[in-house]
Amino acid sequence: MKQKWTLQNVILLALIGVIFSVIYWIMDPVYQIVNSGLAVIGLQAFTNEITLGVWMMAGPLASYILKKIGAGFIGEMLGAAGEMFLGGSYGVGTLLSGFIQGIGSELGFALTGYKNWFAGLWLSTLTGTVVSFGWDLFKSGYIHYKLGLLVALFIVRYLSIFFFSGVLVHLIAKLLDRSKLLSHE
Amino acid sequence: MAITARNLTVAYRDQAIIDDLNLTLEKKTLTLLMGPSGSGKSTLLKALAGLYPQYGGQVSGKIEIDQTAIATLKANERAKRVALLFQNPDDQFAMPTVREEFIFALENLELDKDEIDQKTAWALEKVGLTDFIDRSFVTLSGGEMQKVALAEVLALGADYLLLDEPFAAVDSQSREDLQVLLQQLSQEGYGILVSDHDPAGYFDKISQFYQLKEKALVLVPENDWSQYDYQKQTVVLKPAAESDQAQDTAYRFDNLRIQNGERLVLDQDILQIFAAGITLLTGPNGVGKSSVLKTLARLHRYEGSLTYQEQEVHAWKPRLYFGQVGLLFQSASDQFLNITVDEELDQVMAKSHHADFWTKEILDQWLSDLHLTGLGDQSVYTLSGGQQKKLQLLLMLIMAPQVLFLDEPLAGLDEQSVAVVLNLIQTCQQALGLTILVVSHQTRDLVNIVDRHLRYEQTAMAYQEEVLV
Amino acid sequence: MMNATQRMILALAISLEISLTKSVTLNVVLFSVAFLLLLIRRQPLKKIGLYVAIAIIPVLGSFWSFYLYGQGTAAENLHFGLVMGSRVLVFIFIGAWLTMGMTPYVLLASLRQNLKMSATFTYGILGALNFMPRFKQAFSSIQAAGMMRGEVLRWWQPTLYFKALVHAIKWSKNLAMAMTSHGFQEGASRSAYRDYPMAKSGWVLIVLILIALQVILFFSRY
């Protein structure tokens, strides 16, 4: 693992941010559609939990591909900043969410001492869930919810992050690995 | 005072691209480097510009610039001496506007504001683009971008200019302008090396001419230049055999207009593309051939009317359309979906529109003719450029959609491969009755297998029986 | 008075503040001020209209889900619904105020000068932004390439992302080579054509605004 950031690393990291800023921006209306669908059956509290995994893909993917300290945090921040500049539905709030989610994802890789990126990825799905959930306890008033609902919300959120920011990210990175496109570095 | 390469070998993934090569490039000279695409011209130029091993090549041997080993120079030192112009004008600017780009580059050399303004103005004037300073790159044509790129390296102060196929996306008038400009610059004292696959317009301007052959350079003596400076010959296609029968129409153009950026590249009143057979589309560089192919492949906007099977192209459902129409992308990697060669072949064998034709035996025969046997579990992204191109073409011909557009299918292939590939295209076309439209500058190779010829000049296309080869 | 860095700091501070408080009054005040600033700075009405259009659905959505399905009394639910709805409104209009007349270029160049962000990051990110429009094309050709081979690439499948990364890797290499060839050296010192100073008056303004927010919060009864 080379720790120095080269120009090419940074451009690739930023391009990952650009790709996901567009995906995040597309997710804004998707969120609203899912939300109105779930509201009909009274489960709108779960909208955020179900979709959140998509919004957290940039960080783990960046870390897992670039294998550098800070890649996850910066990748997620760039995705969020891009979403804001594109005119996303949460304006400057996106930056704050990106900040929290970025820290959450980065933490998983940090816990392995940036040594085991595979374990780091799965840990990051857990730390990402815990940190973002902790933030929502205060920000979104989850703290007022009953314990049973909280547990259910946490589990759904974890499953979403596990699938999108864990399984899907792993599959993408595996394709990249097998292609050997980055192997000469 | 020169750039010299001694016993230079550059390898990529342990395969030598250039091998034990020697070159001296002096100031006040203009050198032409020719060689087919894929022969290693880009690699040589990047090595001379000092970009390896930082960007992936393994280098041995020695490159010196005015007696200083290039490997010892940092990028901001190198840029003052040697500069590289890239093949794809789009990929070489970091900033959105001309002014910002110059500021970025000159800040790298730690110049102050006044020096930056002055050098920017001087360099833009030199290429005749003073008015372009506040233009944004998305509004520039390929030729204008290459002129700005040239001005940028002049502003950086480089004495040695390396140009890697700089005219690939440049129209013929801009090509001539730039060639004259390069000659003037070399007379002023710059040492210039330009690589190109097309010798047109060089021989009254250059001082040296090299061919890159089998990973090394061959100096072509001045007496022999005339052999390369051939006048293009005209070949007349034999009138298509079916011309007396009614020809089916695949595509119909009616007042079709295509823009590329801000430029109108096609303004076509009535034209048909006939079903079945191979049509060759030729035209000067940068005229808009790729844009037309992309439009036909439903990947580019258009105004006016373009119908396929009597239905407007943009009104087709994408899945249905691409079930009948395929495009061989200019860049092979854009075509790939899976990772290994076997995965790719298995996928198209399963999905082919003509599975009865493509038996395992036929496939193996073609794989062996194309020298693609034994690559089974190799990643398609690690194949050589030529192997990628051959595999890409094979994949699309196994798919065998009713209509197939081929964008430069022979690029990067050696002579022997070209012959096999032409045979493959012709065999599939005849056996399966495909409609094929091919864009290629390698007209001499293709002319034997094409049935019709569309000539594209300025902003319109028309059928011609004569083909310049 | 405030440069781009200061504006970003203020915007982040405000969004943090309203994320952790539940005052409809404060949110309405902040929204009104941001909206007025957009008008005073002569932002095109069409653009302001666009922000309003972006806001409508998430604002109503946030309001309804807390109002109708909240866990408290009707009054609590109404209050919390209004807090969440108006919060989204503030986010969007503070975001609009932040990005008003500011390009990513100015923001990044300011961050570089003011917060000592590395040149590699500043220019790497700036260079990458040029590719934004090209991803759209790349995305259509990836999907077309799939359909030409009888495959529909779905958004939850890894292939689509992998192919986008193939483009990203190619572009990052080409652009990095060009920038290196134009003299960019990681870690080397560079000159600055423009300065993006942080004025003292800007800091004073930020402090005053933040104090004002606390005062409004203190007196806010809803």
CA–CA distance from A3 to each of A6, A68, C5, C55 (Å)? 9, 6, 28, 42
pLDDT surpasses 90 at B156: yes
How big is chain A, counted in residues?
185
Distances (CA, A) of C107 to A19, A29, A82, A93, B453: 20, 27, 12, 17, 53
Q: Are residues C204 and C172 in the same domain?
A: no
CA–CA separation, B301 vs B199, rounded Å?
34
Nearest CA in chain C to A54: C156
Taking CB atoms and an 8 Å limit, are C182 and B156 in contact across chains?
Answer: yes
Residue count (chain C): 222
Average pLDDT, chain B: 91
Name the residue among A8, A179, A184 with its Cβ closest to that of B339.
Answer: A179
Asked if the Cβ–Cβ distance from A179 to B13 is below 8 Å, we say: no
The answer to whether C28 touches C86, Cβ cutoff 8 Å, is yes
Interface test with B, best of C181, C190, C193, C196 (most B CBs within 10 A): C181
Is A141's pLDDT higher than 90? no
Please report the pLDDT score of residue A77 as a whole number: 95
**CB contact (8 A) between residue C125 and residue A78:** yes
Hey, are the CB atoms on C170 and B116 less than 8 Å from each other?
no
The string of pLDDT tens digits covering residues A149-161 is 899 999 999 999 9
Q: Give me the amino acid identity at A49.
A: E
Nearest to B256 by CA among B303, B314, B315: B303
Kindly state whether C51 is in contact with chain B, defined as any CB-CB distance less than 8 angstroms: no
> Do C71 and A181 lie within an 8 Å CB cutoff?
no
Residue C154 falls within a domain, yes or no?
yes
DSSP C199: -
Q: Is the pLDDT confidence value at B365 over 70? A: yes
Distance CA C222, CA C211 (A): 19
The confidence score (pLDDT) of residue A40 equals: 78
- Whether residues C149 and B399 touch (CB distance < 8 A) is answered with yes
Q: Tell me the average pLDDT across B226-240.
A: 74
Mean pLDDT, to the nearest integer, of B134-157?
A: 91
pLDDT of res. B245? 54
DSSP B232: P
**How far, in Å, CA of B379 to CA of A179, rounded?**
5
Quote the percentage of chain B above a pLDDT of 90: 73
What value does the mean pLDDT take over residues C103-114?
91
DSSP state of B229: S
Residues A51, A30: contact at Cβ < 8 Å?
yes
DSSP string covering C63-76: HHHHHHH-SS-HHH
Whether pLDDT at C159 is above 50: yes
Test B339 with A175 for CB contact under 8 angstroms: yes
CB atoms within 10 A of CB B286: 22
Reported confidence tier of residue A172, pLDDT bands at 50, 70, 90: very high
pLDDT band at C102 (very low <50, low <70, confident <90, very high): confident
Chain C interface test: which of A2, A12, A13, A15 (most C C-beta within 10 Å): A15
Q: Which of B207-216, B232-241, C69-78 shows the lowest per-residue confidence on average (mean pLDDT)?
A: B232-241
Confidence of residue A35 (pLDDT cuts 50, 70, 90): confident
Whether residue A4 lies within 8 A of chain B, CB to CB, comes out as no
pLDDT confidence tier of residue B36, bands split at 50, 70 and 90: confident
Q: Is C68 on the interface with B (CB under 8 A)?
A: no
Nearest-CA distance A66 → chain B (Å): 16
Whether the CB of B49 is below 8 Å from some CB of chain C: the reply is yes
Find the CB nearest B381 among A8, A180, A185: A180
In sequence order, which residues have a C-beta less than 8 Å from that of residue B69 and are 6 or more positions away? B62, B63
Q: Which chains touch C (3 or more CB pairs under 8 A)?
A: A, B
pLDDT exceeds cutoff 90 at B307: yes
**Domain ranges, residue C36:** 4-106+197-219
Tell whether C47 is within 8 A of chain B (Cβ): no
pLDDT digits (tens, 9 = 90+) for A84-107: 888 888 888 899 999 999 999 999
Residues C201 and C148 in one domain: no
**Domain presence at residue C112:** no
User: Coil, strand or helix: which one is A114?
Assistant: coil
Q: Which of B298-307, B342-351, C115-124, C128-137 has the lowest mean pLDDT?
A: C128-137
Rounded (10°) angle between helices A58-66 and A7-40: 150
Chain B contact residues (CB < 8 Å to A): 12-13, 55-56, 339-340, 379-382
- Contact yes or no for B56 and A181 at CB 8 A: no
- B170-224 residue pLDDT tens: 877 888 889 999 999 999 999 999 998 888 889 999 999 999 988 889 999 998 8
Residues of B in Cβ contact (< 8 Å) with C163: 337
- pLDDT score, position B244: 46
pLDDT exceeds 80 at position C112: yes
Collapsed DSSP state (helix, strand, coil) of residue C211: helix
CB of A2 within 8 Å of any CB in chain B? no
CATH superfamily membership of B2-228: P-loop containing nucleotide triphosphate hydrolases (3.40.50.300)
CA–CA separation, B74 vs B60, rounded Å?
A: 18
Segment A109-116 mean pLDDT:
95
Cβ-based neighbours of A109, under 8 Å, separated by 6 or more? A63, A72, A117, A120, A121, A123, A124
Distance CA B333, CA B337 (A): 9
Confidence of residue A185 (pLDDT cuts 50, 70, 90): very low
What's the DSSP call for residue B110? Answer: T
- Whether C69 sits inside 8 A of A44 (CB atoms) is yes
Give me the amino acid identity at A22: V
Whether the per-residue pLDDT at B422 is higher than 70: the answer is yes
Q: Kindly determine whether residue A180 and residue B382, on different chains, have CB atoms separated by under 8 Å.
A: yes
Asked if C62 and C172 sit in the same domain, the reply is: no
- Cβ separation B379–A185 shorter than 8 A: no
Q: What is the pLDDT of residues B104-130, one digit of tens each?
A: 999 999 999 999 999 999 999 999 999
Task: Please tell me the distance in Å from A2's CA to the nearest CA on chain B.
Answer: 14
**Closest C-chain CA to B322:** C148
Whether residue A8 and residue B379 make contact (CB cut-off 8 A), yes or no, is no
How many domains are contained in chain C? 2
Taking CA atoms, B220 is separated from A37, B36, B203, C201, in Å, by 73, 16, 12, 70
Residue C32: count other Cβ atoms within 10 Å of its Cβ: 12
How confident is the model at residue B227, as a pLDDT?
81
Touching check for B108 and chain C: CB below 8 Å?
yes
Q: Do C60 and C146 sit in the same domain of this protein?
A: no
Across B257-285, average pLDDT? 91
Interchain contact, C92 vs A36, CB within 8 Å: no
Mean pLDDT for all residues in chain A = 91
Closest partner residue to C191 (CB to CB) among B83, B107, B347 is B107
Which residue of C lies nearest to B85 if distances are taken between CA atoms? C178
CATH superfamily of B234-468: P-loop containing nucleotide triphosphate hydrolases (3.40.50.300)
Chain C residues closer than 8 Å to B133 by CB: none
**What value of ipTM does the predicted structure carry?**
0.92
Tens digit of each residue's pLDDT (9 = 90 or more) over C173-203: 999 999 999 999 999 999 999 999 999 999 9
* Interface mutation target, options B93, B344, B378, B379, chain A, most CBs of A under 10 Å: B379
Residue C133 sits at the chain B interface (C-beta within 8 Å) = yes
B233 has pLDDT over 60? yes
pLDDT at B246: 60
pLDDT score for B240: 59
C135 and C158 housed in the same domain: yes
The predicted pLDDT at position B243 comes to 52
Give B 194-253 residues with CB within 8 A of chain C: none
The whole-number average pLDDT for the span B321-344 is 96
User: Comparing C207 with B90, which gets the higher pLDDT?
Assistant: C207
Determine the residue of chain B that is closest to A176 in CA distance: B339
| Closest partner CB to B381 (pick from A8, A179, A185) | A179
Give mean pLDDT, residues A172-178.
Answer: 95
Neighbors of chain B by Cβ distance (3+ pairs < 8 Å): A, C
Give chain B's length: 469
Q: What is the DSSP letter of B237?
A: P
Indicate which of B46, B76, B163, B260 best probes the interface with C, i.e. most C CBs within 10 Å of its own CB.
Answer: B76
Contact (CB<8Å) C54/A78: no
Distance CA C136, CA C57 (A): 25
Q: Where do the structural domains in chain B lie, given as residue ranges?
A: 2-228, 234-468
Q: Which of B75, B153, B85 is nearest to B119 (CA)?
A: B153
C-facing residues of B in 327-356 (CB < 8 A) are 327, 329, 333-335, 337, 347-348, 351
Q: Which helix (H) or strand (E) holds B469?
A: none
Contacts of B365 (CB under 8 A, 6+ apart): none
Q: Is A180 on the interface with B (CB under 8 A)?
A: yes
Residue A39 has pLDDT above 80, yes or no: no
For residue C185, the distance in angstroms to the closest alpha carbon of chain B comes to 5
- The pair of structure tokens assigned to B30 is 């203009």
Q: Is there a single domain that holds both residue C98 and residue C31?
A: yes
Mean pLDDT of the B17-46 span:
90
Residue C114 lies in a domain: no
C141 inside 8 A of chain B by CB:
yes
Burial of A42-64, coded b for 16+ CB within 10 Å and e otherwise, reads ebbbbbbbbbbbbbbbbbbbbbb
Per-residue pLDDT tens for B392-413? 999 999 999 999 999 999 988 8
C1 confidence band (pLDDT: 50, 70, 90): confident
Least confident window among B98-102, C54-58, C136-140, C161-165: C54-58
Specify the pLDDT at position B43.
92
Strands B234-236, B466-468: parallel, antiparallel or unpaired by DSSP?
antiparallel
Task: Say how far apart CA B6 and CA B62 lie, in whole Å.
Answer: 5
Closest CA to B258 of B458, B466, B23, B30: B458
